[in-house]
Amino acid sequence: MNMRKSVLPVTMTAILLLTSACGSKPSSEAGASSAQASGQAAAAGDTQKVIWWHSLGGDNGKAVDKLVASFNASRKDIQVEAVFQGSYDESLTKMKASMDSKSGPSLIQVYEIGSRYMIDSKAITPMQTFIDKEKYDMSQLEPSIAGYYTFDNKLYSMPFNTSNPILYYNKDLFKAAGLDPEKPPKTYEEVAEAAKKLSKDGVSGASFAIYGWFMEQFFANQGAELLDNGNGRSALATASLVNADAGVKTLTWWKSLVDSKAAINLGRKTDDTKKAFAAGQVAMILDSTASLRGIVNSVGGKFEVGTGFLPKPADAKDGGVVVGGASNWILNNKSEAEQKAAWEFIKYLSAPEQQADFHVNTGYFPITKKAYEQQVVKDNLAKYPQFQTAVDQLHATKLNKATQGAVMGVYPEARQITETAIEEALAGKKSPKDALDAAAKEISGRIVDYNKTVK
| Beta-strand pair 107-111/48-54 | parallel
DSSP for 279-322, please give it: TTSBSEEEEEGGGHHHHHHHHTTSS-EEEEPPPB-TTPPS----
Q: What is the pLDDT of residue 20?
A: 36
Q: Which residues pair with 203 in a beta bridge?
A: 200
Number of CB atoms found within 10 A of residue 203's CB: 17
Q: How far is CA 423 from the centre of its chain?
A: 22
Q: Where do the DSSP E strands lie in 76-229?
A: 78-84, 107-111, 124-125, 150-151, 154-155, 158-163, 165-170
Total number of residues shown for the chain: 455
Q: What is the pLDDT of residue 25?
A: 32
pLDDT in tens, 319-362: 999 999 999 999 999 999 999 999 999 999 999 999 999 999 99
* Assigned architecture for domain 165-320+410-454: 3-Layer(aba) Sandwich (3.40)
From first to last of its 455 residues, the chain has per-residue pLDDT tens of 444 444 444 434 443 443 333 333 333 333 333 333 333 444 445 899 999 999 999 999 999 999 999 999 999 999 999 999 999 989 988 988 887 777 899 999 999 999 999 999 999 999 999 999 999 999 999 999 999 999 999 999 999 999 999 999 999 999 999 999 999 999 999 999 999 999 999 999 999 999 999 999 999 999 999 999 999 999 999 999 999 999 999 999 999 999 999 999 999 999 999 999 999 999 999 999 999 999 999 999 999 999 999 999 999 988 999 999 999 999 999 999 999 999 999 999 999 999 999 999 999 999 999 999 999 999 999 999 999 999 999 999 988 999 999 999 999 999 999 999 999 999 999 999 999 999 999 999 999 999 999 87
* Assigned architecture for domain 10-163+323-402: 3-Layer(aba) Sandwich (3.40)
Portions of the chain given CATH number 3.40.190.10: 10-163+323-402, 165-320+410-454
Q: What is the pLDDT of residue 375?
A: 97
DSSP for 161-201, please give it: EEE-EEEEEEHHHHHHTT--TT----BHHHHHHHHHHH-BT
CA–CA dist 285, 180 (Å, integer): 17
Q: What is the pLDDT of residue 45?
A: 58
436 and 242 in contact (C-beta within 8 Å)? yes
CB contact set of 152 (below 8 Å; sequence gap of 6+): none
**For residue 66, what is the DSSP state?**
H
